Amino acid sequence: MDRARLSLNQYTVKPWTLREAMDACVRHGIPAIAPWRDKLAEHGVEAAARDLRAAGLRVSSLCRGGFFPAPTASERRARVDDNLRAIDEAATIGAPVLVLVCGPAAGASLAEARAMVHDGIEAVLPHARASNVRLAIEPLHPMMIAERSVVASLGEANDLCESFASPHVAVIADVYHIFWDYRVEAEIARAGTSVAGFHLSDWRTPTGDVTADRAMIGDGIIDLTALARAVAGAGFTGDIEIEILNTRCWAGDQETTLRTALERYEGLK
Amino acid sequence: MDRARLSLNQYTVKPWTLREAMDACVRHGIPAIAPWRDKLAEHGVEAAARDLRAAGLRVSSLCRGGFFPAPTASERRARVDDNLRAIDEAATIGAPVLVLVCGPAAGASLAEARAMVHDGIEAVLPHARASNVRLAIEPLHPMMIAERSVVASLGEANDLCESFASPHVAVIADVYHIFWDYRVEAEIARAGTSVAGFHLSDWRTPTGDVTADRAMIGDGIIDLTALARAVAGAGFTGDIEIEILNTRCWAGDQETTLRTALERYEGLK
């Protein structure tokens, strides 16, 4: 695949600061980056906007908003406020997309939590529209439902997205989270131009932490070429993020991880 | 829930022999059991049939057939032959249902493997029909796709089941594998009387082995009451299996595990 459409999701090289990740993008000719909010906060949002521009880097997305369900109305309001700030940050750094990891049930039933996710997106949508930031619902792998996201399939994300019928609500197609679904290609086609991001890693069965044991591109069983073809067929023309969350990689040499990921990415058809 | 409809899936108390598990069922007034084939082989199939009858125990299902995908035609034929033997064993012990864990892709693509699963079921269906044993496709949690089953959602199992349009092909609703799905209740309703089994455990995010880290009934986040209502609404009237695969429970006292599971089962609405 073409490096001209590549974006480095910052948590692939989580130990690095935003400055270090930006420098690595420039060094390797990676034209885009997807910062995470904790890294952005360390750097300063205004400074990041300036430095990203100066480095000539596009921003593919900001990770992440979401986590809407909470036990009380005031806590849910605080989550909404945090998402409003995330939208501001995305707009400031020129991120066209805010990735939403929707959050776990937090003591509610799954159905109640799913309603809270809907209501949370509804509450922040006017600000997203005014800021021209797309809210991109990322369905997470069903094994993360208790900690990360009650939205656990692309079909569910598509239903939720369609319920808003807004160009400012979209979905993320992250191969790790959705490849197992026998309907994955049909759901990508159904999403069409609502696909606001395409994230690459690979699947090997996690042996410990289910969140950060993702495999290097090419080391797992995901048919990445088929999924890349599906998102292209759906009309997605944006930057493609390498997003490999892996505690062992984080404990190792980041430059090695990045070089390997780049080789694997370029080797993909 | 009512102990009159309870079945002990033998791997809940995996360290026990079939004899020990049968004795425990009699001791606790559990009217049914679901043996596993390895335990059946130890005991002897004919002897098991006789001893189960003598103990007055119903058999809810035999675990398990399946594992159809394999790299070569001769290996796939060997898998089919093994499933034919499993059907014979089920018929011999009076199990109305053979649970199918369909198998991983084994080097093929997911689409190819899914076709192999279809072909495997097709190959054994005449013998199942002649033996009056239902082949029950058990969708497994998507996190088990690389080792256990390419059939990873109840929707997929329903599609596969419907493709045969036979009363001898059915599905299993195991809460652990399907609860995360926003369409789970709709898919249970769609399955209707094709639901040939209802298995109980609970979900906590696994911290190691994704196969055998299931939680005790009541210790997790699954809305068991809602799912029990859904399978009842679909028309399922069979025995309800307690199936808690957990390496820590297996390392502990089996009688304690069983007593706890019974209390929790009876406490369910």
A203 touches chain B (CB under 8 A): yes
* Average of per-residue pLDDT values in chain B: 97
Q: Which residues of A touch B204 (CB under 8 A)?
A: 146
Select from A268, A251, A261 the least CA-distant residue to A209: A251
Q: Which residues of B touch A152 (CB under 8 A)?
A: 180-182
Instruction: Give the minimum alpha-carbon distance from A69 to chain B in angstroms, rounded to a whole number.
Output: 15
The residue length of chain A stands at 269
The predicted model scores a pTM of 0.97
B130 touches chain A (CB under 8 A): no
A210 touches chain B (CB under 8 A): yes
| pLDDT given at position B203 | 97
| pLDDT given at position A209 | 87
B162 touches chain A (CB under 8 A): no
Cβ distance A205 to B152 less than 8 Å, yes or no, reads: no
* Average of per-residue pLDDT values in chain A: 97
Instruction: Give the minimum alpha-carbon distance from B93 to chain A in angstroms, rounded to a whole number.
Output: 35
CB contacts < 8 A (A, B): 89
**Bridge partner residues of B136 (DSSP):** B99, B170
* Confidence bin at A241 (pLDDT 50/70/90): very high
The CATH number of residue A12's host domain is 3.20.20.150
Closest to B180 (Cβ–Cβ): which among A147, A152, A220?
A: A152
Is residue A122 within 8 A of residue A39, CB to CB? The reply is no
Instruction: Give the C-alpha separation, A183 to A157, whole Å.
Output: 13
Cβ distance B152 to A180 less than 8 Å, yes or no, reads: yes
Instruction: Give the minimum alpha-carbon distance from B13 to chain A in angstroms, rounded to a whole number.
Output: 24
Maximum distance among all Cα pairs of chain A, rounded to whole angstroms: 49
Q: Which chain A residue lies closest to B151 (C-alpha atoms)?
A: A182
Instruction: Give the minimum alpha-carbon distance from B155 to chain A in angstroms, rounded to a whole number.
Output: 9
Closest to B180 (Cβ–Cβ): which among A145, A159, A210?
A: A145
| pLDDT given at position A269 | 85
| pLDDT given at position B208 | 84
Model pLDDT for residues B97-142, shown as the tens digit of each residue: 999 999 999 899 999 999 999 999 999 999 999 999 999 999 999 9
Model pLDDT for residues B42-89, shown as the tens digit of each residue: 999 999 999 999 999 999 999 999 999 999 999 999 999 999 999 999
Instruction: Give the minimum alpha-carbon distance from A49 to chain B in angstroms, rounded to a whole number.
Output: 38
Model pLDDT for residues A54-99, shown as the tens digit of each residue: 999 999 999 999 999 999 999 999 999 999 999 999 999 999 999 9
Instruction: Give the C-alpha separation, B181 to B204, whole Å.
Output: 16
Model pLDDT for residues B78-106, shown as the tens digit of each residue: 999 999 999 999 999 999 999 999 999 98
Q: How many domains does chain A fold into?
A: 1
| pLDDT given at position A152 | 98
Closest to B181 (Cβ–Cβ): which among A153, A159, A207?
A: A153
Q: Which residues 212-231 in chain B show a CB within 8 A of chain A?
A: 220-221, 223, 226
Model pLDDT for residues A200-220, shown as the tens digit of each residue: 999 999 988 889 999 999 999
Residues B134, B70, B114, CA angle at the centre, nearest 5°? Answer: 60
Select from A252, A246, A269, A260 the least CA-distant residue to A11: A246
Mean per-residue pLDDT, A167-181:
98
Model pLDDT for residues A253-269, shown as the tens digit of each residue: 999 999 999 999 999 98
Cβ distance B182 to A207 less than 8 Å, yes or no, reads: no
% chain B with pLDDT above 90:
97
* Extended beta strands in chain B, E state: 6-9, 32-34, 58-59, 62-66, 97-101, 134-137, 169-174, 195-200, 240-242
* Confidence bin at B158 (pLDDT 50/70/90): very high
Select from B147, B87, B173 the least CA-distant residue to B123: B87
Mean per-residue pLDDT, A171-200:
98
A109 touches chain B (CB under 8 A): yes
Cβ distance B205 to A147 less than 8 Å, yes or no, reads: yes
Whether residue A137 has pLDDT greater than 90 = yes
Residues A245, A250, A255, CA angle at the centre, nearest 5°? Answer: 105
| pLDDT given at position B209 | 87
- DSSP states along A200-241: E-B----SS-SSSBPBPTTSSS--HHHHHHHHHHHT--SPEE
Closest to A153 (Cβ–Cβ): which among B145, B182, B207?
A: B182
Is residue B174 within 8 A of residue B216, CB to CB? The reply is no
Closest to B146 (Cβ–Cβ): which among A151, A181, A205?
A: A205
B84 touches chain A (CB under 8 A): no
**Bridge partner residues of A223 (DSSP):** none
ipTM associated with this complex = 0.96
When computed from its CA atoms, the radius of gyration of chain B, rounded to whole angstroms, is: 17
Structural domain for A163, as ranges: 3-267
First to last CA, chain A: 6
